[in-house]
Amino acid sequence: MTPVAVTIAGSDSSGGAGIQADLKTFAALGVYGASVIAALTAQNTKGVTGIHDVPANFIAQQIDAVFSDLDVSAVKIGMLSQVAAIQAVAQGLSRHKAKNIVLDPVMVATSGDRLLTSEAVAVLRHELIARAIVVTPNLPEAAVLTGASIARNEREMEVQAREILAFGARNVLIKGGHSDGAESVDLLIGQGEVVRLSAKRIATNNTHGSGCTLSSAIAAGLAKGLDLIAAVQEAKAYVTAAIAGADRLKVGHGHGPLNHFPDQAHTRWSKS
């Protein structure tokens, strides 16, 4: 059986993040990707200039169309900017008994643009966090979810992750990409021991879509039957390679995209 994952997120018109990044990631990792578009964004590597929200009833129609036909093994949830969208997704996932849900609580774009209304944060906590097998906030997102300052070290990262667990999350992967230091450290925290995942920090401005890519890579691993720790480890390695290869692409004039096909892009897309 072909593994299938679905992304429920916003569309990025420049192709580097959101739905487009998720589908590239699924393809790169050997998973068939389906999509439910929750919002359209006008954006590029320099920023977001507009958001057009998809009506909640049409989000529900997309969910029903995908789940009534495809054998979905994992779900990645990304940008949901409105309360009605969050509720439509929560009800749809419940209706179809969705499994292996990866929630990326997208709130702020790489450019700094706010993507989630303040009114929606409480609804996201209540409606979606407890449904997910793992929640994947970066440091600014974890701070918003917990009402704290941005974590400055691994001890503070763990404290905030455990606060998110208290909201009902089964596991939290708190991502340290926004911190300083020679290493980029993520912490996977559930009911057992803390799993520390580190990689050498790569000097590049081309990190657009890195959070979307990591969460969709985790969903791809789960769709293929990996356990959560193995899926997160595979995802971390994939994103590290995609960031390492990002400068081989010459796309845009701001924060460029990752290289989602790092073993192929040099011959296909790079300038000589």
- 22-74 pLDDT, tens digit per residue, is 999 999 999 999 999 999 999 999 988 998 999 999 999 999 999 999 999 99
Mean pLDDT of 225-242: 96
Q: What CA–CA distances, in Å, run from 114 to 10, 47, 156, 176? A: 13, 10, 24, 19
- Of the pLDDT bands very low, low, confident and very high (cuts 50, 70, 90), residue 214 is very high
**DSSP category for residue 113:** -
> Which of 210, 208, 218, 128 minimizes the C-alpha distance to 173?
218
Question: Which residues on neighbouring strands pair with residue 41, listed in sequence order?
Answer: 12, 51
Which of 67-71, 112-116, 171-175, 223-227 is predicted least confidently? 112-116
What single-letter DSSP state applies at residue 80?
-
Q: Are 243 and 209 in contact (CB under 8 A)?
A: no
Domains of the chain, start order: 4-264 (3.40.1190.20)
pLDDT of residue 7: 98
Task: Tell me: pLDDT of 269 over 60.
Answer: no
Q: How far is CA 128 from the centre of its chain?
A: 14
Give one word for 225, left, alpha or beta, with left for phi > 0 and alpha for psi -120 to 50.
Answer: left
pLDDT for the residue numbered 205: 85
Average pLDDT over residues 227-233: 97
Distance separating alpha carbons of residues 239 and 219, to the nearest angstrom = 13
Region of 237 please: left (phi>0), alpha (psi -120 to 50) or beta. alpha
Q: Is the pLDDT assigned to residue 180 strictly greater than 70?
A: no
Structure tokens at 196: 């520390």
Confidence category of residue 272, pLDDT binned at 50, 70, 90: very low
Closest-CA residue to 234 (of 248, 219, 221): 221
Q: Give the helix/strand (H/E) hosting 173.
A: strand 172-175
Q: What is the pLDDT of residues 150-175, one digit of tens each?
A: 999 999 999 999 999 999 999 999 99
Q: What is the pLDDT of residue 165?
A: 95
Average pLDDT value for residue range 262-270: 58
- Cβ–Cβ under 8 Å, residues 90 and 56: no
